[in-house]
Structures are given as structure tokens and as C-alpha cells.
Copies of this chain bind each other. A is one copy, B any other.
Amino acid sequence: MSSHRTADLGFARLDLDRAARTGTPEVVYAAGKTPAETVACLAALLDGGAPIAFATRVDDPTAAAVLERWADAVVDDAARVVFVGELPEPEGEVLVLSAGTSDGPVAAEVAATLAALGVGCRRVDDVGVAGVHRVLAVSEELARADAVVVVAGMDGALPGVVAGLTDRLVVAVPTSVGYGAAFEGLAPLLTMLTACAPGVVVVNIDNGFGAAVAAAKVVRSQR
């Protein structure tokens, strides 16, 4: 069946028709791969016909290897993401809120992934519930967004407060930011899963990529 073409690289078997089947292209998760392996995966995806290929969790040697192969590749340092190819025109708008400055890298991964998927994005950072007026101040942005992604570590209380203020789906991303009883992200993960406001859904700790894919599905289903 044509929707199940695979590129077999020996160390990896890439799913070339994932975009056709699931709406989201195969993406290279670079953690645990050598720079050469990541480059080979990106190349195979482009060879398979993808207009843009990208990798997440990219370290410096991998970013260098990608730039050496494709001089016009784009490296997003904050997000640890690289793109090869042309970014699509953005459609719609996802509001990306983060609770603290240390949550920045995960919020950046959300934004970079949305860009690669062709979805518009507006970021507002450092919106902690300890100053709840900072949350109320984004009401206007909430009203305008197609979906909302909320990134928070430590107590992870922000998504529950936001979900009480909007009729949009709130995708919550716990982060491993914090210390002690935050237990590497377990505390905000549990907080988000038990948030009292319905309409909060949760992805894995630090999984900005997954949150962006989910939000993009919501945006695209509206068009």
C-alpha cells in the first residue's frame, strides 16, 4: 500500500508516508543518535519527498554536522531544533504560555515545531500563578487563539488556572525544571493530570514537540 513506504537505513526504518497517514511528518529525534545518523535520517526524509525535514533534541555537534551538509539549514539554539528545507506559511494561531524563565527551552521547542508544521504561534513567557494578574493579563490573547499550550515546571498550576478562563483546548506540558519535591517533573505532571478545570490534556515531561503536534491537529481540523 502506497501509504506505507519505508526508508530502511539499517539503523533506522523511516516512515515516509506518516504525513499522509497521520497529518504529521516523521521527525528525527536526535537524542541517542550520532550526528551522522541524524544527517542520514534528514536526508532520507528529504529524498522521500518531504518539503521540510527537522530534528529535535539536537546537540552542538549534530547542529554542526547538519549545517555542514546543508548550509541553509536553520538551527534554533533555544529549542535545540534544526530545519532543512522551506518553512511552510503559518496558518491559525496557537498561544504558548510558559510559567517561568527556566521553562523557556521547552516553550521554544513548542514554537519551533509549530513553525515546521505550518501553524502560527504567539508566545508569552513568565506567566506564573504567584502573580495571578499576570495570567489575567493574557485574556485577550486567550480569546484570539485556536488552541493553547501551557508549559510549566515546579507546581505546574498554570494550566488549571488558564483552562478556567478560556473555551479553547489547553495542552499542558510539565517540565523537569525545579528541585526537591518537583522530582524531575513528577510534581507538575500530577498537578496537570488532576487539574480541576476540565479541558486540560497533558503530554510527557519536557515534550514540547508532542504538545505542538497536538495543538496543530486542533488548528488544522478547523480549516
Residue ranges of A at the interface with B (Cβ–Cβ < 8 Å): 1, 4, 6, 10-13, 15, 18, 21-24, 27, 31-33, 37, 99-102, 104, 125-137, 146-147, 154-157, 160-161, 163-169, 171, 174, 176-183, 185-207, 209-210, 213-214, 217-218, 220-222
Q: List 16 A-B contacts (CB under 8 A).
A: A4-B131, A6-B131, A13-B127, A18-B164, A21-B167, A24-B198, A32-B101, A37-B101, A99-B196, A155-B157, A157-B195, A168-B217, A180-B207, A187-B193, A201-B202, A201-B214
A12 to B147, CA, bound (A): 23
CB-based contact A155/B37 at 8 Å = no
A100 to B12, CA, bound (A): 7
Q: A102-B32, A165-B21 are in contact. Are A213 and B199 (CB under 8 A)?
A: yes
CB-based contact B125/A13 at 8 Å = yes
CB-based contact B195/A202 at 8 Å = no
CB-based contact A130/B217 at 8 Å = no
> Which of chain B's residues has its CB closest to A190's CB?
B187
Report the minimal beta-carbon distance from A150 to chain B, rounded to whole angstroms.
Answer: 12
A182 to B130, CA, bound (A): 22
Contacts of A37 in B (CB 8 A): 101
Report the minimal beta-carbon distance from A148 to chain B, rounded to whole angstroms.
Answer: 10
The CB with the most chain B CB atoms within 10 A, among A12, A23, A217, is that of A217
A132 to B22, CA, bound (A): 13
A164 to B24, CA, bound (A): 10
CB-based contact A11/B180 at 8 Å = no
CB-based contact A33/B101 at 8 Å = yes
